A = this chain, B = another copy of it.
Amino acid sequence: MPAPITFLSDYGYGDEFVGVCHGVIARRCPDARVIDIAHAVPRHDVRAGALMLAAALPYMPAGIHLAVVDPGVGSNRRAVALRLAGEARILVGPDNGLLAAACERFGGVAEALDIGRSPARLEPVSATFHGRDIFAPVAGTLAAGEPLAALGDPFDPATLTELEIPGARLRDGALLAHVLGQDHFGNLMLDATGAQLSELGARPGDALVVELPGRSHTARYGSAFAEVPAGELLLYEDSRGMAALAVNRGSAAQLLAAEGAGVELTVRRA
């Protein structure tokens, strides 16, 4: 049974891009098993994609992890395949920071290959769809059993592009954080960790004040949506281990008018 392939991208579901990559993989490895992590990373948002990949990977079987959020496709950014140090996993995608958080989570990179001119690529390589022409065929060829070293040119992992993530910090007894994004339910993911919430000194059940420019809201510090009445705000550690804001049976993004990443907010004890 071939190693499983997971697949994350910002291709969305409005086109045949995802399906074409699946087809290319199946042509290289007819019995490949592909798990779609998600294809709704906000368009060209490398940071959101990187966070999603790093959050999802521990739940994925070890295998080949294809990820494509690639605003620089066709430029001279590298196309890479990276063998992780910590587990038997290979990441395949553009070298623009997208793979960085996942690499860090699994102990760094043991082996790095430039696959931009890989013998596995589809010819001719287009300037706009390397998912189809480089990344998917390399992933499928790996799943079919080809050794990594045969598929590209080795380079020093220390030269890989890093990822910048804004960080939350505690100051004067308050937590200054940023919205990283929102999920399908309107829950807001913050750049603070669950551990930083604890450092705030809040205890489960405590009332907290969430301040945004020009407005403030009261939130309950808890762990389950149902701990607050419908329509009220909950601050909790989400299933990724990050601080998050939710409204029970409602949308925190809507209540706080904080749609979109980057919004700054402050959390303090009431």
Q: Which residues of A contact B (CB under 8 A)?
A: 1, 4, 6, 8, 11-20, 22-24, 26-27, 30-31, 33, 35-40, 43-44, 52, 55-56, 59-61, 71-75, 126-129, 132-133, 183-185, 223-227, 236, 238-239, 246, 249
A37 contact set on B, CB distance < 8 A: 16, 19-20, 23
A223 contact set on B, CB distance < 8 A: 74, 127-128
Q: How far is the CA of A226 from the CA of B61 in the complex (A)?
A: 35
The reply to whether A225 and B74 contact each other, CB–CB distance below 8 Å, is yes
The reply to whether A35 and B61 contact each other, CB–CB distance below 8 Å, is no
Interface centre among A56, A74, A249 (most CB of B within 10 A): A74
Task: Closest B residue to A122 by CB, please name it.
Answer: B59
Q: How far is the CA of A239 from the CA of B246 in the complex (A)?
A: 38
Q: How far is the CA of A75 from the CA of B30 in the complex (A)?
A: 38
How many protomers of this protein does the assembly include? 3
Given known contacts A20-B56, A36-B22, A132-B59, is B15 in contact with A30 (CB within 8 Å)?
A: no
Q: How far is the CA of A115 from the CA of B173 in the complex (A)?
A: 41
A-side interface mostly: loop
Among B12, B59, B72, point to the contact of A184 (Cβ < 8 A): B12
Selected A-B contacts with CB under 8 Å, 18 pairs: A6-B19, A6-B23, A12-B184, A13-B40, A14-B183, A16-B56, A17-B183, A19-B35, A26-B33, A27-B61, A30-B61, A59-B132, A71-B225, A72-B226, A73-B224, A75-B226, A128-B223, A128-B236
The reply to whether A56 and B127 contact each other, CB–CB distance below 8 Å, is no
The 7 nearest A-B residue pairs measured at CB: A74-B224, A19-B37, A75-B226, A129-B239, A12-B184, A127-B224, A23-B60
Interface centre among A26, A59, A128, A223 (most CB of B within 10 A): A59
A1 contact set on B, CB distance < 8 A: 30-31
Interface centre among A33, A72, A185 (most CB of B within 10 A): A185
A73 contact set on B, CB distance < 8 A: 224-226
Closest CB-CB distance, A26 to chain B, in whole Å?
5
Q: How far is the CA of A55 from the CA of B17 in the complex (A)?
A: 11
A30 contact set on B, CB distance < 8 A: 1, 4, 61
